[in-house]
A and B are shown apart, each in its own frame.
Chain A
Amino acid sequence: MIRALIIIAGVSLAAWIVGSQLPARSYEVRVLCLILLAASMAQSWNIIGGLANQISLGHGAFFGIGAYASTILQLSYGLSPWLGALAGMAAAMLAALLLSLPTMRLKGPYFALATLAFAEACRVVANALPMTGGPQGVSVPFLGDSWAMLQFRAPGTYLPVFIGLFALTSLVFALLANGRIGYQLRALRENEDAAEVAGVATLRTKLIGSLASAALTALCGTLFAQFTFFIDPDSVFSVSAISIRMALIAIVGGVGTLIGPILGALAIVPLEEVLSATLSQYIGGIAPFTFGLVLIAIVLLRPRGLASLPGLRLAEGGRP
């Protein structure tokens, strides 16, 4: 646990030092915020995807619910996104509970496909509802720089917000991973029958992990909406840009480890930016194609992710 706290504090401090050197309106500071957001999203996914190996491809549902809950409450009632985030987290936990009832006994590809279908259903429903703005999406009204309404003109001003998000998601992951629940999640990941016979309430334990994971993902969604000022169902409920990307970053970095989502985000987000800035205009779809290749390479060569690279032996022994 002490090592986890050092990693979280070290990465947060490094992000702060790098960010404070960059101009507040620069492209680079925006990318830094996106890296922290991506690491937070992957870390939220990692609670259930990594510790319990329930490979969800549907976390876009919780992300979209978080993004829309705060934005709609803000548009309709002028509610601060700080409170909207809590509403989004509650709504996402409710969605996770409903999703868990039929899916928590599923494993492997069956679970992955069921969750994928759930997120896709959420996207289709969101496109049909009037309050989401449908395919046109909705904009967060800009009322001037404000901590109360969590909105700023310059991306650099968001840096402490995303550092806070990163620290929170990582801390929750570390507390769960190193706590009693972490033992039980890893045990049921390895052998559900043996875990049950040892006294682990496997369904209840998975449910707790799913709820924590969904709530944190919804929080990421709210902050994403505040950061971009515009959301539409196709982007926040996106299968490739949200659901699969969350899993991809965690898997590339090192699934089930604290450091994995951090390494994954550091590798994937800059790659995304470079690809979209250089090649995308010539070759359509080059970014997802490249991620496919990266994922195949990692799964074949380094199934335990970048965290298992020599010199980065932080995933040793399956401990987070």
Chain B
Amino acid sequence: MSPRVCVRGVTVRFGGLIAVNDVGFEAAAGEIIGLIGPNGAGKTTLFSTLVGLVRPAAGSISLDGARIEGRKPHVIARAGMTKTFQNTALFPGMSLLDNVMTAAVVREDLKSARRTAEACLERVGLRKAALANVADLTFPQKALAELARALAVKPRVLLLDEVMAALTPAEMDEVMATMRSLRDEDGMTLLVVEHHMRAIMRLCERILVLNFGRLIADGPPSCVSADPDVIRAYLGQDHAHHA
């Protein structure tokens, strides 16, 4: 059986800059994988490439065995992979419910899309704010709204770009519980970018580390956090010797 996501040799160039350099990994159904790395390491660019917003210069990406690199984002979304946006990218002139419904009306009629959207809002704990204009939401609510809209796509692979950035520890626990239920009940594969190390170490069984566009480590949290390359990437050359 082919892995749910298979990434091989993916390279992304912006002019002379190589933002993602020969990255390859596989993700199985029902895995929660953390993606970490210093600022500018290429995490968001890798996510954008996986969902089709950025075209890779080289490499292949497949979803359940079907090649998807170079396809349009809506094609990839309908095939089952979507992402949330760092710093959120909601539709400001629309209510929260309408934001989430947009992802559902693509497949469903209005009545059914509304039920789907309400269920997704319920799942992230925003049901009560359904009719609010998204411009009036707080930042943590906006991040959760991003998550709800992504869930309305009914993805098999969900890429989460710092949805927990502005949350309190209690709210983070709730979101992590939601993520685990997405894996356990829905069999979803999650890739999670997060700067909050303790959260990511607790949440993920496996962590990928990017540095200057290259994948420098791939393994369980304990191995990754002890890896000299990773420590060097995060703390600089000197600390690697002492570690």
Contact = CB atoms under 8 A, between A and B. Distances in A.
A180 B105 contact: yes
Contacts of B126: none
B73 interface: yes
Interface string A193-222: 111111111100000000000000000000
B109 A194 contact: no
B82 A197 contact: yes
Contact of A187 (B51, B85, B91, B109): B91
A187 B89 contact: no
Nearest to B100: A198
Contacts of B89: 191, 193-194
Tell me if B's interface is mostly helix, strand, loop or mixed.
mixed
B44 interface: no
A183 B95 contact: no
Interface in B41-68: 51-53
Contacts of B78: 199
B74 A194 contact: no
Contacts of A187: 91, 94, 99, 102
B36 interface: no
Contacts of B109: 180
Nearest to B81: A197
A179 interface: yes
A193 B90 CA distance: 10
Interface in B85-134: 85, 89-95, 98-99, 101-103, 105-107, 109-110, 113, 133
A160 B85 CA distance: 51
Contacts of A199: 74, 77-78, 82, 103, 106-107, 153
A226 interface: no
A273 interface: no
A82 B109 CA distance: 34
A44 interface: no
B4 interface: no
Contact of A194 (B52, B90, B93): B90
A197 to B, nearest CB: 5
B55 to A, nearest CB: 13
B83 interface: yes
A224 B29 CA distance: 61
Contacts of B180: none
Interface in B183-237: none
A213 B152 CA distance: 30
A198 B103 contact: yes
A91 B101 CA distance: 35
Interface of A: 179-180, 183-184, 186-187, 189-191, 193-202, 317-319
24 contacts: A179-B110, A180-B109, A180-B110, A186-B94, A186-B102, A187-B102, A189-B91, A190-B94, A191-B89, A193-B73, A193-B85, A195-B91, A196-B53, A196-B72, A197-B74, A197-B83, A198-B74, A198-B103, A199-B77, A199-B106, A200-B106, A201-B72, A317-B95, A318-B94
Interface of B: 51-53, 72-74, 77-78, 82-83, 85, 89-95, 98-99, 101-103, 105-107, 109-110, 113, 133, 149-150, 152-153
